Amino acid sequence: MPDTDAVLRHADAALPRAREALFDLLRIPSISARPDHAKDCRRAAEWVRDTLAAMGFQAALHPTPGQPIVVAHHPGPAGYAGPHILFYGHYDVQPVDPLHLWTSPPFEPQLVQGPRGPRYVARGAVDDKGQVMMFLSALRAWNDAGGGIPARITVLIEGEEEVGSVNLEPFLEANQAQLAADLALISDTGMWDVDTPAITTRLRGLVFTEVALRAATRDLHSGLFGGAALNPINAICAALGGLHQADGRVAIPGFYDRVRAVDPAQAAEWHGLRFDEAAFLGDIGLTHPAGERGVPALERLWARPTADINGIWGGYAGPGSKTVIPAEAFAKVSFRLVPEQDPEAVVAGFRAFLAARVPADARVEVAVLSAAPGIEIAADSAAVRTAREVLSAEYGRPALLVGSGGSIPVVSSLRRILGIDSLLMGFGLDDDQVHSPNEKFEERCFHHGTRAHIRLLGRLGA
Amino acid sequence: MPDTDAVLRHADAALPRAREALFDLLRIPSISARPDHAKDCRRAAEWVRDTLAAMGFQAALHPTPGQPIVVAHHPGPAGYAGPHILFYGHYDVQPVDPLHLWTSPPFEPQLVQGPRGPRYVARGAVDDKGQVMMFLSALRAWNDAGGGIPARITVLIEGEEEVGSVNLEPFLEANQAQLAADLALISDTGMWDVDTPAITTRLRGLVFTEVALRAATRDLHSGLFGGAALNPINAICAALGGLHQADGRVAIPGFYDRVRAVDPAQAAEWHGLRFDEAAFLGDIGLTHPAGERGVPALERLWARPTADINGIWGGYAGPGSKTVIPAEAFAKVSFRLVPEQDPEAVVAGFRAFLAARVPADARVEVAVLSAAPGIEIAADSAAVRTAREVLSAEYGRPALLVGSGGSIPVVSSLRRILGIDSLLMGFGLDDDQVHSPNEKFEERCFHHGTRAHIRLLGRLGA
């Protein structure tokens, strides 16, 4: 019987060392969207591999057409008969622009005193380096003070989560035997609040597209051609400007065909959480909810699909005037999906929507950069029950079952290819500024998360 | 009585030298929109000043808060009793992006053999350095072979035409006495075709604005906030996407309130030009006219107002995906106006239009970068009659009276502040790629234009 309490005490003492290890990883600018950061992605992968190897894992880098994937195996103690866990995380991070809004350089992690105690500020502080490091710190604590790694574990850390995990599925397909496990464990989600742990059982899917709209063969003078030649910025605005109806619903025909209303019991449970949308929006300087009118906030965030233009560009964007009608205009457009929706049908619907809304001379292309369905995880499984007990023990209050508006496409990939469910136990907070300037992770979240992983690992072999 | 024929013969022989002089000016990258090219603008101004001083003009640079203005005076021959001419042009040029579409560096002028003979390829080849150089070459030919400058002339060459001539009006106001003249002569317009000269008697005005739409206080993750937080790109597309009705008319309430239908006689004259819109559009790879349905092409181009988005930007525009809801989005939006429209009323209407179309949390700002009304010039004036005769003599066929969809705000400034009308005699062609990559000027246009100016100068003192 492993002595979990001794391991927890060791982890408390080792917090400064765990923080330093995280800061080392955060200093590597592993931005997967930027080809010029490929070497940094590789360095981050090597860092993770070496950290696991130092704890006795059989760890290796696996090349892909993009960034390498780290896979590491540990058999656990002799005679281990508990479940084989596959821990998934990612070492890549989002781009950092707009850089001028950061209060410190994004890849020089800072220990800052915040209203809830110390926090870590850096790109990737929470998403996902900080959350990965909680699990690695829990492993290290077991290794140093608990007599070794207490369970059979495979660790899978990829480097392209922020660009749609394009090379992960082929890798899973090609390495099914090596990656076989009983349950996936993923730490890339959030808590309900800083004192209330949560397990995420519902995730939205994501379709991410890039739209190109081309018109004349060259840029034109708006005086000589205005009123005669198609302006592709006018056209892309006219088309995408109709993406939402006045009631906030997505206007693409058929978009909601398969979308079901939220189960009344689930809706009632969420209602009971008394989510304060005014405070949620107030934190970011807003006062009016966007999205579908008349739909409760948590349903809009967790259980309703959305459409968002994530980027747009075309024509002249420099200082002063340029009276140009450009030859082309572009936009990045993404859709958050609920589990019932088929990503391919959403793409087809979007293409048809655009085709019907652009003038005859406009040549429209829609490139699909990623597409993953939303998913739901069974709330009454043994894994979810164990995790609730572990979190309750750590926090002294029950863990909530929540949804997330974000997408973790790997969850559906793992289910489809390896046949395993995922346990989503994460420790981020809503104000962590994920994907934004000044991303941060509260130290108490980091440390409680490490301790919760220690407890969970201790339960597996028991 | 000056010997115009001798001067014309001299100009024929001096064409290579005139071309070299133009190329010298074209090599100066005087992009007024770019603060980092301020020194180049000054160099171009000095080049013009020195060229005029070498012909006996009293020439000087006048500083402004932006680029300097060149003013030069010549009294003409002793006892000159003809009209005092104010020649206006500009030495600044448009930005050159997208640079990768140029077939040669924009500021390394090329002499290229085209289907109509030699042509000059460079930024500013025609707009407006080439057109200014025709007048300077005509002055030089008179100076070298005609016994001197044949008329009383003031030359006014500014350096901010491409950024809305923001400092010109204050300069005109402050220097009315120094700039007093009987007639302005401007060469910044086009011919009907390469064999048919034209005088432009109608110009559209221009209002150029920059729209900023701000929402949350920071960039957001579209998974965590999509469906709850206002997306400013969605909002700017929804607002600007409604700028045009289905019939192509501008949808801003009140936009057409003062716009009159084209005079039937004028419409008939334009109809007689048998403008080939299919060929005009075919040259730029388009097949369907944009703009107001059911309005003849030349009316749409010359006598109807338009709205165009000249630039748009916001969110992520790099490679791959970024699931961001940005804090802000921007657009450059301009309006071509007919003479009856009041630029201030158009701006007010646009502001009200946007305010009515954005969600409650959106903070919209509309900055007006320039605003000038459209104008009409009397077709039966002595100046227009003289110019028609000169052009008919040079080309062996009558000169047409046409409109232009472009804007030359200085024409209204000169009328309002100095009380003088303008004669618009220009030699550009529709396919000169003004403001676009690979801008060019046909050598035969350049040379005929020089000769037409020689003839016009010869008529003034007669």
Pairing of strands B117-121, B110-114: antiparallel
Contact A237 B233 (CB under 8 A): no
Q: Give residue A1's pLDDT band: very low, low, confident or very high (50, 70, 90).
A: low
Of B236, B308, B359, the CB nearest to A222: B308
A222 near B CB under 8 A: yes
Task: Count the helices and strands in chain A (H runs, E runs).
Answer: 15, 18
Average pLDDT over residues A8-28: 98
Report whether pLDDT(A405) > 90.
Answer: no
A221 near B CB under 8 A: yes
- Do the domain assignments include residue B29? yes
A30 near B CB under 8 A: no
Q: How crowded is residue B253: how many other Cβ atoms within 10 Å of its Cβ?
A: 11
Average pLDDT over residues B427-439: 93
Please enumerate, as own/partner, the contacts of B388-392 that have beta carbons within 8 Å and a separation of 24 or more. B388/B199, B389/B459, B390/B452, B390/B455, B390/B456, B390/B459, B391/B197, B391/B199, B391/B425, B391/B452, B392/B197
Report whether pLDDT(B1) > 70.
Answer: no
* Among chain B residues, CA nearest to A281: B229
* Among chain B residues, CA nearest to A329: B312
Residues B41 and B149 in one domain: yes
Q: What DSSP character marks residue B418? A: I
- Do the domain assignments include residue B117? yes
Residues B197 and B346 in one domain: no
Residues A198 and A210 in one domain: no
Strands (E), B96-159: 110-114, 117-121, 153-158
Average pLDDT over residues A17-32: 98
**Least reliable range by pLDDT among A251-255, A318-322, B14-18:** A318-322
The pLDDT assigned to A263 comes to 82
List of residues 6+ apart from A13 with CB closer than 8 A: none
Interval B310-361: pLDDT, tens? 999 999 999 998 999 999 999 999 999 999 999 999 999 999 999 999 999 9
Alpha-carbon span B392 to B127, nearest angstrom = 24
List of residues 6+ apart from A73 with CB closer than 8 A: A57, A58, A59, A153, A154, A155
Alpha-carbon span A110 to A116, nearest angstrom = 15
- Do the domain assignments include residue B283? no
Alpha-carbon span B228 to B167, nearest angstrom = 46
Q: Give residue B137's pLDDT band: very low, low, confident or very high (50, 70, 90).
A: very high
- Do the domain assignments include residue B282? no
- Considering only CA atoms, which of A422, A446, A20, A406 is closest in space to residue A194? A446
Residues A126 and A94 in one domain: yes
Q: How far is B167 from chain A, CA to nearest CA, in Å? A: 14
Residues B92 and B120 in one domain: yes
Computed over every residue of chain B, the mean pLDDT equals 95
Residues B252 and B321 in one domain: yes
Contact A34 B94 (CB under 8 A): no
- Considering only CA atoms, which of B149, B193, B168, B96 is closest in space to residue B461? B149
Instruction: At B127, list the tokens.
Output: 């707009």
Contact A321 B215 (CB under 8 A): no
Residues B74 and B132 in one domain: yes
Average pLDDT over residues A377-393: 90
Q: How crowded is residue A169: how many other Cβ atoms within 10 Å of its Cβ?
A: 17
Q: How far is B349 from chain A, CA to nearest CA, in Å? A: 18
Instruction: At A461, list the tokens.
Output: 């072999």
Residues B226 and B352 in one domain: yes
- Considering only CA atoms, which of A69, A96, A186 is closest in space to residue A134? A186
User: Which residue range is the domain that position B449 belongs to?
Assistant: 4-203+375-460
The pLDDT assigned to A409 comes to 78
Contact B288 A433 (CB under 8 A): no
- Chain A residues lying within 8 Å of B359, measured CB to CB: 288, 290
- Do the domain assignments include residue B66? yes
- Chain A residues lying within 8 Å of B438, measured CB to CB: 218
Pairing of strands A153-158, A69-74: antiparallel
- Do the domain assignments include residue B271? no
The H-or-E segment that residue B325 falls in is: strand B324-325
Interval B177-186: pLDDT, tens? 999 999 999 9
Contact A228 B297 (CB under 8 A): yes
Residues B53 and B180 in one domain: yes
Instruction: At A376, list the tokens.
Output: 């739901």
Q: Give residue A347's pLDDT band: very low, low, confident or very high (50, 70, 90).
A: very high
String of DSSP letters for A386-442: HHHHHHHHHHSSPPEEEEESS--HHHHHIIIII---EEEB--B-TTS-TTSTT-EEE
- Chain A residues lying within 8 Å of B404, measured CB to CB: 223-224
* Among chain A residues, CA nearest to B321: A163
CATH number at residue A162: 3.40.630.10
The pLDDT assigned to A128 comes to 97
In the stretch 110-149 of chain A, residues with CB closer than 8 A to chain B read none
3-state helix, strand, coil in chain B (%, to 5): 35, 25, 40
* Among chain A residues, CA nearest to B93: A322
Contact B277 A318 (CB under 8 A): no
Interval A50-67: pLDDT, tens? 999 999 999 999 999 999
- Do the domain assignments include residue B352? yes
- Chain B residues lying within 8 Å of A98, measured CB to CB: 219
User: pLDDT: is A12 or B270 the higher one?
Assistant: A12
Domain boundary among B372, B391, B407: B372
A437 near B CB under 8 A: yes
Domain boundary among B344, B372, B400: B372
Q: How crowded is residue A148: how many other Cβ atoms within 10 Å of its Cβ?
A: 15
Interval B163-213: pLDDT, tens? 989 899 999 999 999 999 999 999 999 999 999 999 998 899 999 999 999
Q: Classify burial at B100, counting beta carbons within 10 Å of its beta carbon; exposed 0-12, middle 13-18, buried 19 or more.
A: exposed
Number of domains composing chain A: 2
Report whether pLDDT(A444) > 60.
Answer: yes
Report whether pLDDT(A441) > 60.
Answer: yes
Of A98, A204, A322, the CB nearest to B94: A322
ipTM above 0.85, yes or no: no
Report whether pLDDT(A221) > 70.
Answer: yes
* Among chain A residues, CA nearest to B127: A221
Contact B223 A325 (CB under 8 A): no
Residues A81 and A53 in one domain: yes
Residues A368 and A380 in one domain: no
In the stretch 158-177 of chain B, residues with CB closer than 8 A to chain A read 162-164
Report whether pLDDT(A383) > 70.
Answer: yes
A386 near B CB under 8 A: no
Instruction: At A320, list the tokens.
Output: 């002063």
CATH number at residue B230: 3.30.70.360
Report whether pLDDT(B408) > 90.
Answer: no
Q: Give residue B453's pLDDT band: very low, low, confident or very high (50, 70, 90).
A: very high
Residue A9: φ, ψ to 5°: -60, -40
Of B217, B238, B311, the CB nearest to A284: B217
Residues A40 and A161 in one domain: yes
Instruction: At B54, list the tokens.
Output: 């070498």
- Do the domain assignments include residue A283? no
Contact A359 B288 (CB under 8 A): yes
